[in-house]
Structure 1
Amino acid sequence: MSLAIAAAQLPGCTMDLAANVGVAEAAVRDAARRGARIVALPEMATLPYFCGDAPGPYRAWAEAADGPLAHRFSALAAETGTAVFLPFYERDAATGRYHNAVLGFGPDGVALRRGPVARKLHLPVGDDPPPGFDERAHFAAGDALHVVEACGLRIGVLVCYDRRFPEAWRALRRLGADLVIVPVAGSGGDDMDFFVGEMRTHARENGLAVLCANKVGDEYVGGGIVDNYGYSAAIGADGAVLALRPRQEGPGILLADLDAAAIPEVRRRLRYYDDRRQDLFA
């Protein structure tokens, strides 16, 4: 079964939040017109990355998992007949906590979970480039991984920094994932060969296809600049690059055909996950 999957490589967001939402919606419609069945959007898809500033001024940007943004993208998924994965800034009314999270909607517009399909688990702290960033000041870390079903695939999500940790990939494979969606924002401090190569390695060693969506271009918040580097990518379960949209191509849709039927065959041939020493490693 060949399935068209798409990553929307969005331009850097501005302080005009309504305009950002419109850009993201237009990208989903564009991907659907090109035949995509699954569309992934970048981390903080409709907001500039604000973690280089103090958290207070941005709390008002957060929304509940069933808020206006969720309703808009639920309707958009149904309108376009695509499964949509929307990163957003979540305010959890039950706990009062804020999360860097992702919502998923099936092609019928129905939420794939009652709450987010992912909350960022690992929250980085850094000071390069100035003025630095501290995600722990802005977000509470998630405490679980989830796998959801859409378009015949079992899908997990690792938000940006979460991709760094091999245990997270292993855990998603153990939960039965076929495809891992990786929403990203920023530059991450890597050259592009490493950025893509790291995901290729995790894909191959776990037999997991990957769909990575990044922004491209600068964002300006609180006097700081966030350099989003692009390089959205689709990667097969054998680690092969199916499609890549480098920085110089700018914003646009990365589209790839994923052969879901090939995933079990890759796992039979490349047995790294099955052959690991389970008496020594979980």
Structure 2
Amino acid sequence: MELVAIQMNAGPDWPANRARLEKLLQQLPPSRPLLVQLPENAAVFGGRDAARQWAEPLGAGPVQELFSRWARELGIWLVVGSMPTRIEGSDKLHSTCLVYDDRGERAAHYHKVHLFDVEVADGHGRYQESATYAPGDALCVIDSPFGRLGLSICYDLRFPELYRALRERGAEILMVPAAFTRVTGQAHWLPLLQARAIENQCYVLAAAQYGDHGGGRQTWGHSLILDPWGELQACLPKGEGLIIAPLEAERLARIRSQMPVAQHARLTAVWRDKA
């Protein structure tokens, strides 16, 4: 079994992004099974207008139909890092991660919980996802042939309690599709991902956006795959492309057996007892 992270430079136009993705998916290795992750904003990466133009109701629309078809025709598990989905009765959208199995069936979805409302010392300056998106309110861990997948998106990475909750629900592979800014990525991307891998003893699959996206927005790239010991298995610092690393279930089990931190954790239990 192998893990694949695809790095791209998406823009505000879905047809152009679709063409990029088609070329990148042609580079997949012939071996199966494959767990393939696309970055955050894989379908459309732009402002509010672009998101609204290409947003679809969850479970319906040509963009989601194409992701489903790719998964089925390529025989892969495909994790679409995020795309905008509509919320019935609201002018806000969800930033939604979609998981398709190798039959093209949607196996799960996750609405981004933590929204990126921050100021960054770059050409874009102020980011306010909450102007366009509403936060999700549910975690998602799903079974797959590769193990239990715990879903998250980008800014979620800064909230370790989310990943501890995923681990408590049985997560073995943490999915972290992202579009980290160049400034924040250079400072924090690798150490945050390594911390999540080490403290939860999980594989981490982190596909990222890279490059200039207009409006002063630059993303860091450095898509990577970490093992449950926090060791770097593969990384793509720049450009578009993909990285591949093997999934070793025996290594995961051995690390958790030799250092059973999940069984040793007492603070959560103490808080629960005193609640």
Q: What stretches of structure 2 of length at least 5 have no aligned partner?
A: none
For residues 103-147 of structure 1, the C-alpha deviation after alignment (integer angstroms, 9 at most, x for no partner) is: 11001111103xxx2111011212323342101111000001111
C-alpha distance in 1 between matches for 2:89 and 2:69: 25
For residues 77-109 of structure 1, the C-alpha deviation after alignment (integer angstroms, 9 at most, x for no partner) is: 011110001121111336664111111100111
- Which of 71, 85, 90 is equivalent to 2:85? 90
C-alpha distance in 1 between matches for 2:173 and 2:23: 24
User: Could you tell me the TM-score, scaled by structure 2's length?
Assistant: 0.90
C-alpha distance in 1 between matches for 2:260 and 2:167: 13
Could you tell me whether the CA contact under 8 Å between 1:231 and 1:244 is conserved in 2? yes
User: Could you tell me the TM-score, scaled by structure 1's length?
Assistant: 0.88
Residue 265 in 1 paired to residue 254 in 2? yes
Residue 280 (structure 1) aligns with: 270
C-alpha distance in 2 between matches for 1:168 and 1:71: 30
Runs of 4+ in structure 1 off by over 6 angstroms are: none
- Which of 193, 197, 201 is equivalent to 1:203? 197
Residue 64 (structure 2) aligns with: 70
SS at the partner of 1:279? helix
- 1:38 CA displacement: 0.6
- The change in CA–CA distance for 1:151 and 1:279 in structure 2 (over 3 A counts) is closer
C-alpha distance in 2 between matches for 1:57 and 1:201: 34
- The change in CA–CA distance for 1:36 and 1:197 in structure 2 (over 3 A counts) is farther
Residue 117 (structure 2) aligns with: 125
Q: Percent of aligned positions with the same letter in both sequences?
A: 28
Residue 60 in 1 paired to residue 53 in 2? yes
- 1:152 CA displacement: 3.6
Residue 237 (structure 1) aligns with: 228
More displaced, 37-46 or 148-157? 148-157
- The change in CA–CA distance for 1:36 and 1:232 in structure 2 (over 3 A counts) is farther
- The change in CA–CA distance for 1:270 and 1:34 in structure 2 (over 3 A counts) is same
Structure 2 matches for 1:237-256, cutoff 5 A?
A: 237-247=228-238, 250-256=239-245
C-alpha distance in 2 between matches for 1:57 and 1:70: 16
Letter in 1 for 2:119: D
Residue 209 (structure 2) aligns with: 215
C-alpha distance in 2 between matches for 1:144 and 1:100: 13
Could you tell me whether the CA contact under 8 Å between 1:32 and 1:81 is conserved in 2? no
SS at the partner of 1:261? helix
- 1:25 CA displacement: 3.0
C-alpha distance in 2 between matches for 1:267 and 1:200: 16
SS at the partner of 2:150? strand
- 1:279 CA displacement: 3.0
Residue 17 (structure 1) aligns with: 14
- 1:49 CA displacement: 3.7
- 1:165 CA displacement: 0.6
C-alpha distance in 1 between matches for 2:211 and 2:227: 27
Letter in 2 for 1:246: P
Could you tell me whether the CA contact under 8 Å between 1:89 and 1:101 is conserved in 2? yes
For residues 27-54 of structure 1, the C-alpha deviation after alignment (integer angstroms, 9 at most, x for no partner) is: 233225465601000001021242xxxx
Q: What stretches of structure 1 of length at least 5 have no aligned partner?
A: none
Could you tell me whether the CA contact under 8 Å between 1:36 and 1:255 is conserved in 2? no
C-alpha distance in 2 between matches for 1:94 and 1:83: 32
- The change in CA–CA distance for 1:281 and 1:266 in structure 2 (over 3 A counts) is farther
Structure 2 matches for 1:99-110, cutoff 5 A?
A: 99-110=94-105
C-alpha distance in 2 between matches for 1:15 and 1:135: 15
More displaced, 153-162 or 17-26? 17-26
